[in-house]
Amino acid sequence: MEGLTPSQLTFFRENGYLNHTPHQIHHRRRRNQQKRPHVGDDYFLNSGDKIRFFFEPDAFSSTPDPATGKPTLLKPKQQAINKIGHALHSLSPPFEKVSLSARNAAIAKSLGFVDPRLLQSMVICKQPGIGGAVPPHRDSEFLYTRPPSAVGWWFALQDAGPGNATLGMWKGSHRQGIKRRFVRKIGENGKVVGTEFVENDGPEMPRGSEGYGQDQGQEVKDEDLEILDITAGSLVLIHGNVLHKSEKNTSPRSRFAYTFHVIEGADGWDYDERNWLQPPEGGEFSKLYR
Ligand SMILES: O=C(O)CCC(=O)C(=O)O
């Protein structure tokens, strides 16, 4: 099975992402597919080995219903879900098939992974009108290994472009380090009480990234922001250090995507125990090389 071509690899190394159109995962376009987003509590923190549904905050009324004292859901449920995650790749056979595949293993091999492990799989819905923005971030802030190694696999299930809150990539920003981390917050009683961003006091760059030419600072320029035009079925590879985002979907078109992340599981890379997502008790993250 073929991985990335030399020119694709060069593009990824130079820019920190790759819009990998040639290997489409499917060609069917479901124009009317409007399906099923988010963070903060046990339901989120314990979703790493489950399939859970997260609502879009804007799907609810801003004031509580006087009868129930709770906000009212303003949309049908299938148009109110922000995302579904985070273990589709191990619990749902169709998602397992497209995730733990020979093709993805070949791509991981071309990226230099020794023992790639797959985690944090999810369907992101970007519902029409209300699909929430994803603020600028780097994936290794969330799935931190020592040294950093995360790469995102992002499959467009629908066309994604400037009109419907596509991905925005600051090209070349993968030459900058991981300065902060998103971790489980521990309360005074020693128990997890939520999540927070903390300063990263560990390695900031992946091993072998010396050839990328490391940037001096953390400044990014507007002109480096690339708004991707992505055809349904394409795979976008996202370097763990590259700064990226997506806007709120104010358009009438949904923008479904399936995404998972790969980290290095070989000796010499440690998955950090403060990361929001932890391996199942007594278990490990799914091996991509089988
Ligand atoms: O699909 C999106 O809107 C954002 C995805 C993203 O930021 C990620 O997968 O790291």
Q: Whose CA is nearest to atom 6 of ligand 1?
A: 245
Torsions phi, psi of 227, nearest 5? -90, 115
Q: How far is the CA of 165 from the centre of ligand 1 (A)?
A: 10
pTM for the model: 0.91
Extract the tokens encoding 3: 């991985």
- Indicate if the pLDDT at residue 46 is higher than 80: yes
Mutate to test the pocket of ligand 1, among 38, 138, 167 (most ligand atoms within 8 A of CB): 167
Ligand 1 touching residue 259 (CB < 6 A): yes
Tell me, what's the pLDDT at 215? 66
pLDDT band at 282 (very low <50, low <70, confident <90, very high): confident
**Is any ligand 1 atom within 6 A of the Cβ of residue 121?**
no
- Radius of gyration over alpha carbons of the chain, in Å? 19
For the segment 123-128, the average pLDDT, to the nearest whole number, is 97
Q: What pLDDT shows up at residue 216?
A: 63
% of residues, the chain, pLDDT over 90: 85
Q: Are 263 and 48 in contact (CB under 8 A)?
A: no
pLDDT score recorded for residue 140: 98
Q: How confident is the model over 73-91, as a mean pLDDT?
A: 96
* Strands 145-146 and 225-227, sheet pairing: unpaired
What's the CA gap between 245 and 234, in Å, rounded?
A: 18
Domain 6-22+36-58+77-287 annotated CATH 1.10.287.370: no
pLDDT at 253: 97
128 CB within 6 A, ligand 1: no
Each domain of the chain, given as residue ranges in start order, spans 6-22+36-58+77-287
- The minimum-distance atom of ligand 1 relative to the CA of 165 is 3
pLDDT tens across 233-250, in order?
999 999 999 999 999 999
pLDDT tens readout for residues 150-202 = 999 999 999 999 999 999 999 999 999 999 999 999 999 999 999 999 999 99
Is residue 158 within 8 Å of 126, Cβ to Cβ? no
**Average pLDDT of the residues of the chain:** 91
Q: Where are the beta strands (DSSP E) in the chain?
A: 17-20, 51-55, 60-64, 71-73, 81-86, 116-124, 134-137, 145-146, 151-156, 167-170, 180-186, 192-199, 225-227, 235-239, 244-246, 257-264, 270-271, 286-287
Cα–Cα distance, 120 to 276 (Å, whole number) = 10
108: closest CA among 234, 276, 266, 241?
Answer: 266
Which stretch of DSSP H or E encloses residue 11?
helix 6-15
